[in-house]
A and B are shown apart, each in its own frame.
Chain A
Amino acid sequence: MIEVDVSQRFGDLVVLDRLRFSIGANEFLCLLGRSGCGKTTVANLMAGLLPCSEGSVTIDGVPVDPRRHELAFVFQEPSLWPWRTVRNNIRIGLEIKRVPPHEIDRRVSEMIELVGLEGFEDYYPYQISGGMKQRVAIARAFAVDADLILMDEPFAALDAQTRTSMQAEVLRIWEKRKTTVVFVTHNLEEAVYLAERIILLTEKPTRIKANLEVDLTRPRDFADPRFVALRKRLGELIGTW
């Protein structure tokens, strides 16, 4: 169980204003909001990359700490280490947490198969496309047995078609690996398609506008009337800041 209770200020600027929510185990949660609403800040706080000015993020009661907890982050920009091959990029999290070598190899092979990159294990990042790079980043995130995986608009830099296929991929991998995922996005359709629950954020100073459960069966259909209705509802909520 992950509890978030934070306020965040940078100098005089109040970015987050008493944001409180909790996340259940293995839940797929979307943080939805306009660009600049501080959702990346929330993600960074939850990952322990940013210190909280006020409040805390706890995992099972313990303040989140990258050294103690198993965390992972899929960034929006390409984050692969260019001097390492695909295979060696995927093993980063396992390497840091000192997983035994044969276990690392096993998990890396598993992830490569899961994201569909067989044959590209020894390629360098400069040789693969943007979509493939993000798949490696996702493989890297899911390779560890994460307590929490954060994804900050991971598909924003990809073209529309790649984006759609990646959305399905992420769900498939999540269903296989069963981890808690917090997915940050500004894209309404993406949120409705992916999330079990959506937290809608206001603009700065950011508060929670809505906390909705998405009760649609999977696989979800963008054209389904219930999908469209929910999307409309979100649109209305966002429109009325």
Chain B
Amino acid sequence: MKANAEILDVPRASAPAVAARRGWPIQVLLHNLVAGLVVLAVWQVATWLVRSVFFPSPLQVVRAMADLWINGDVTGNSLLTHIRWSLQRLLAGFSMGVVLGVPLGLVMGLYKPLYTGTRAALEPFRFIPPIAWIPLTIVLLSGFSRYVFLIWLGAFFPIFVATLVGVPRVELIHKNVAKVHGAGRWYILTRVVIPSVLPDILGGMRVGMGTAWMTIVAAEMSGGETTGLGRMMVNYAELLRIPEIVVGMILIGVLGFLMNEILLRIEKRVFRWRWEVSL
């Protein structure tokens, strides 16, 4: 190949090579295992130090988790039911956040006057934490719709803002390339603007996913339905059964982590063309 002399020392991450780098290497798993054991050890030591009936040991929590898994909770619902319901509400609210946040962000980003004209009226809403909406939603909404609304609030704003901010950052030169060849507005929107903004959108989605997940727990704790991880935790709190509460916390943390990982994987896949690594 004539061009050989010109190649910089860059990793030749062609499409086949990237696909082969799938899965977690053994070293990373081992390191994480060690870190996990350290956390457990610290926990156990803390249990001995605190010596309170309200501070569960790792063993108690493990037993509680096994019990919950096999027998379900005091209300007769299985663990899986709670998980399923929390996730369903999350997905519903989150997808609404995406469906509304992305187009609105694009429109406001493309038509500056629309954004500046509505900013003072609409932006303050961004700063009201979803949790502050709970009292209002208790009286106005019920059940599934209440949760979905609260989750949507958590997801919408990060996604909307990320999209909005990404649009002006689309490079003019990329648009000019399309313009010179005679592209119309639609082509430029779909083939230049959206691919350019996609990294920002996905970043916003990860943040939105995080706040949405935190919101669901608070929302479920505030009453309403009988299912959901937050609901389960409140039930056990009323009974002063702490190990089960910790089980709920652990599950919430692990599920949130897994969802973040999924989005990260998607990001890495879709953005093979980027030099930087996403965190």
Contacts of A63-99 to chain B: CB distance below 8 A: 65-73, 75, 77, 79, 81-84, 92-93, 96-97
Asked if A129 and B7 sit within 8 Å, CB to CB, the answer is: yes
Report how far A71 CA is from B176 CA in the complex, Å. 12
Say which one of B58-66, B101-109, B244-252, B268-276 lies at the interface with A: B268-276
Q: Which residue of A is nearest B273, CB measured?
A: A124
Contacts of B161-184 to chain A: CB distance below 8 A: 173-174, 176-184
Confirm or deny: B139 has a beta carbon within 8 angstroms of a beta carbon on chain A.
no
**Given A81-B174, A81-B195, A126-B275: A71 in contact with B180 (beta carbons within 8 A):** yes
Q: Which residue of B is nearest A125, CB measured?
A: B273
**Given A118-B1, A122-B14: A129 in contact with B176 (beta carbons within 8 A):** no
**Given A122-B14, A129-B8: A96 in contact with B187 (beta carbons within 8 A):** yes
Asked if B181 and A92 sit within 8 Å, CB to CB, the answer is: yes
Choose among B180, B196, B271, B272 the residue that contacts A66 (Cβ–Cβ < 8 A): B180
**Given A71-B181, A83-B195, A93-B181: A126 in contact with B173 (beta carbons within 8 A):** no
Report how far A125 CA is from B173 CA in the complex, Å. 15
Confirm or deny: B239 has a beta carbon within 8 angstroms of a beta carbon on chain A.
no
Confirm or deny: B31 has a beta carbon within 8 angstroms of a beta carbon on chain A.
no
Confirm or deny: A144 has a beta carbon within 8 angstroms of a beta carbon on chain B.
yes
Asked if A49 and B176 sit within 8 Å, CB to CB, the answer is: yes
Residues of B within 8 A of A72 (CB): 180-181
Residues of B within 8 A of A126 (CB): 10, 273-275
Confirm or deny: A116 has a beta carbon within 8 angstroms of a beta carbon on chain B.
yes
Residues of A within 8 A of B180 (CB): 47-49, 66, 71-73
Confirm or deny: A55 has a beta carbon within 8 angstroms of a beta carbon on chain B.
no
Asked if B2 and A116 sit within 8 Å, CB to CB, the answer is: yes
**Given A77-B173, A119-B1, A122-B14: A97 in contact with B181 (beta carbons within 8 A):** yes
Asked if B181 and A96 sit within 8 Å, CB to CB, the answer is: yes
Residues of A within 8 A of B196 (CB): 83
Confirm or deny: A205 has a beta carbon within 8 angstroms of a beta carbon on chain B.
no
Report how far A144 CA is from B13 CA in the complex, Å. 29
Residues of A within 8 A of B21 (CB): none
Asked if B6 and A96 sit within 8 Å, CB to CB, the answer is: no
**When each residue 131-150 of chain B gets 1 if its CB lies under 8 Å from chain A and 0 otherwise, what string results?**
00000000000000000000
**Chain B interface extent, by class:** 20 to 34
Asked if A73 and B273 sit within 8 Å, CB to CB, the answer is: no
Asked if B182 and A67 sit within 8 Å, CB to CB, the answer is: yes
**When each residue 169-180 of chain A gets 1 if its CB lies under 8 Å from chain B and 0 otherwise, what string results?**
000000000000
Confirm or deny: B12 has a beta carbon within 8 angstroms of a beta carbon on chain A.
yes
Residues of A within 8 A of B176 (CB): 49, 73, 75, 79
Confirm or deny: B192 has a beta carbon within 8 angstroms of a beta carbon on chain A.
yes
Asked if A123 and B14 sit within 8 Å, CB to CB, the answer is: yes
Choose among A79, A120, A132, A144 the residue that contacts B173 (Cβ–Cβ < 8 A): A79
Residues of B within 8 A of A96 (CB): 178, 181-183, 187
Asked if A66 and B181 sit within 8 Å, CB to CB, the answer is: yes
Report how far A72 CA is from B273 CA in the complex, Å. 25
Residues of A within 8 A of B274 (CB): 82, 126
Asked if A66 and B182 sit within 8 Å, CB to CB, the answer is: yes
Residues of B within 8 A of A92 (CB): 177-178, 181
List 12 A-B residue pairs with CB atoms under 8 Å apart, sorted by A's residue number: A48-B179, A65-B182, A69-B182, A71-B180, A71-B182, A79-B173, A124-B272, A124-B273, A126-B274, A127-B10, A131-B6, A140-B177
Which residues of A approach B to under 8 Å, CB–CB? Answer: 47-49, 65-73, 75, 77, 79, 81-84, 92-93, 96-97, 116-120, 122-129, 131-132, 140, 144, 162
| Given A96-B187, A97-B182, A126-B274, 17 further pairs, Cβ under 8 A | A65-B182, A66-B179, A66-B180, A66-B183, A75-B176, A79-B173, A81-B195, A83-B196, A92-B181, A97-B181, A120-B3, A124-B272, A127-B12, A127-B13, A129-B7, A132-B6, A162-B6
